[in-house]
Amino acid sequence: MPIPALSRAGLDEHLDALGLRHGHHVTVHSRLLALGMVDGGAATVMATLRDAVGPEGTIVVPAYCWQHAPDFVFDPRSTPPEKVGTLSTHAWEMGGWSRSPCPIHSHLGFGAKAPLLAAVSGLDSTGPDSDFALFHREGFHLLTLGLSLGPGATYLHHVEDCAAVPYRQPLLLSRQRRRPDGAVEPIQMRYYGAASPSCGGPGRWRENFDAVEPHLETHGALTRVPCALTGYSTYCAIADLHDQTMALLAQDPYALVLPPDETEA
């Protein structure tokens, strides 16, 4: 079956149907292939997103880094994003972004509120001084373009942290980071990781973030629009995502996970 084409006008219609509006501040996770063959690829997607929110809005994409070798130095200005898709790669290559200084969960931003990213300490991967707390505080929306919330809502790890779920625990990780003046500083950063067997039982709890979607839809807090090739995109206010998921976890602390596969223990 041939891959359907998607013009810029078609992408505009897709974003409009989701509810993306002028002046919105948006963090975007994406799987562009699900949209079909986009005319102009990632460059068209980024240009369309930025035009949709206008100069008063903000577009943010993940720029995560998974390197942890003892001699590795994270430099917000020169360490490229890893394994976060072609839209983030294109954003990185564009330049002109602001970047947060977290050695794990950093983001690239363009637009009105992008400079706020550089003011985050970068010492919290999730939690009170993380990028995700900034998105909540500053009224951002979450757009998963060609993705469900399952693979597209890293923000939900922040909610797990806020809710102190029993299958994760705070860890202090040693990292090295290059400061704006070029000096390298050792840092201790907080990461909310999977609980050890002694804390959470044998095996690991399996992520099930898609479980949030029907709960959000019941409360009118999530829009879903089918993609041209496969799957769908979602759009929601991060405040709604946060509050509704916190309520879900208050009822069941294990609402976002499936039981461990004991054969992998």
Read off the tokens for 50.
């930025």
Give me the domain span that covers residue 26. 7-166+207-251
Indicate whether 173 belongs to any domain: no
User: The pTM is what?
Assistant: 0.94
CA distance 32 to 146: 6
Neighbours of 5 (CB within 10 A): 11
Residue 3: pLDDT band with limits 50, 70, 90: confident
Q: Over 90: is that where the pLDDT of 263 sits? A: no
What's the pLDDT score for residue 201? 47
Indicate whether 265 belongs to any domain: no
Q: Over 90: is that where the pLDDT of 259 sits? A: no
264 vs 102, residue with greater confidence: 102
Q: Over 50: is that where the pLDDT of 63 sits? A: yes
Q: Over 70: is that where the pLDDT of 197 sits? A: no
User: Cβ contacts of residue 232 below 8 Å, gap of 6+?
Assistant: 146, 148, 224, 225, 226
CB 170 within 8 A of CB 130: no
Indicate whether 12 belongs to any domain: yes
Indicate whether 145 belongs to any domain: yes
CA distance 41 to 240: 31
pLDDT tens string 104-160: 999 999 999 999 999 999 999 999 999 999 999 999 999 999 999 998 889 999 999
Residue 208: pLDDT band with limits 50, 70, 90: very high
Indicate whether 56 belongs to any domain: yes
3-class SS letters over 224-246: EEECCCCCEEEEEEHHHHHHHHH
First vs last Cα of the chain: how many Å apart? 41
Indicate whether 143 belongs to any domain: yes
Mean pLDDT of the residues in the chain: 94
Read off the tokens for 201.
């039982």
CA distance 15 to 225: 9
Neighbours of 118 (CB within 10 A): 14
CA distance 19 to 7: 19
User: CA dihedral defined by 238, 118, 64, 206, rounded to 10 degrees?
Assistant: -40
What's the pLDDT score for residue 176? 97
CB 229 within 8 A of CB 2: no
Q: Over 50: is that where the pLDDT of 200 sits? A: no
What's the pLDDT score for residue 38? 95
CB 243 within 8 A of CB 184: no
Indicate whether 189 belongs to any domain: no
DSSP one-letter string for 128-188: TTSHHHHHHHTT-EEEEET--HHHH-THHHHHHHHHT-TTEEEEEEEEEEE-TTS-EEEEE
- Pick the closest to residue 157 from 198, 116, 124, 119 (CA basis): 124
Indicate whether 25 belongs to any domain: yes
Neighbours of 71 (CB within 10 A): 5
Our count of domains for the chain comes to 1
CA distance 152 to 182: 34
CB 42 within 8 A of CB 10: no
